[in-house]
Amino acid sequence: MTRPPFEPFTDADIAVVSAQLGRPARNVVGIAARCVCGAPTVVATAPRLADGTPFPTMYYLCHPAATAALSQLEATQVMNEYNQLLADDEQVRAAYRSAHESFLADRALLGDVPEVAGISSGGMPDRVKCLHALGAHSLAAGPGVNPIGDLALARCTWTPTVCECIDYSAADSAPE
C-alpha cells in the first residue's frame, strides 16, 4: 500500500487542532499541511467517522487565519467567477478533474467507503462549492494539483509563508 500523503500526528497536534477548531478534533489520521511555525494547517480525516458517518472531506482546513481569509473571499462571490472559469476554460476544467481524481486516490489509501465513492470535496469535479475544502486540498497536495484551490489561496489575504498563529502552547497541556 502506498503511504498516505500526510504525516503522523502527536497528542500535541491534536490539542492544537482542537484549540484551533474550538471543539475536539475528530478522527484525524494525519497532518496534511503545517504553518511555517509547525502548527497544523490542514488535517487529514478518516473517510468514515468513528460513529459510522461517511465523511468525504478528507482534507480539513483547521488554521483559523486561513479559514477566516477563505471565508472572506467566499463572501465576495468569487465562487461564481471560478465556476465561470471552469465553464469557459477547458485546461482549467481538465486540471480540476485531475485534482478530483488525485483527491479520490489519496482518500482510497484510507479505506473504501461506498457511500462516498466518486465524491471528493469542495464541489469537484464540476463546480466550485467550498473554497475552504479546495484550499485545504491545495495546501495538502501542493501547488499545481488543484487549480481552483491554488487561485483561492493566491487571492485570499492569508499566505502559508507567514505565521499568523496564536500561542497554542496552552493547548499542549490541555486536559482531554
129 pLDDT exceeds 70? Answer: yes
Domain coordinates in residue numbering, the chain: 11-170
pLDDT tens digit sequence for 59-113 = 999 999 999 999 999 999 999 999 999 999 999 999 999 999 999 999 999 999 9
Tell me the average pLDDT across 149-164.
95
| pTM, two decimal places | 0.92
Interhelix angle 78-88/147-155, nearest 10 degrees: 140
What pLDDT sits at residue 3? 52
Q: Is the pLDDT of residue 175 over 50?
A: no
* Mean pLDDT of all residues belonging to the chain: 92
C-alpha cell of residue 105: 486516490
Higher pLDDT, 3 or 113: 113
pLDDT in tens, 24-56: 999 999 999 999 999 999 999 999 999 999 999
The CA–CA distances, whole Å, from 152 to 39, 65, 78, 159, 166 equal 21, 14, 9, 11, 23
Q: Please report, rounded to a whole number, the percentage of residues in the chain having pLDDT higher than 90.
A: 88
Question: What pLDDT sits at residue 144?
Answer: 96
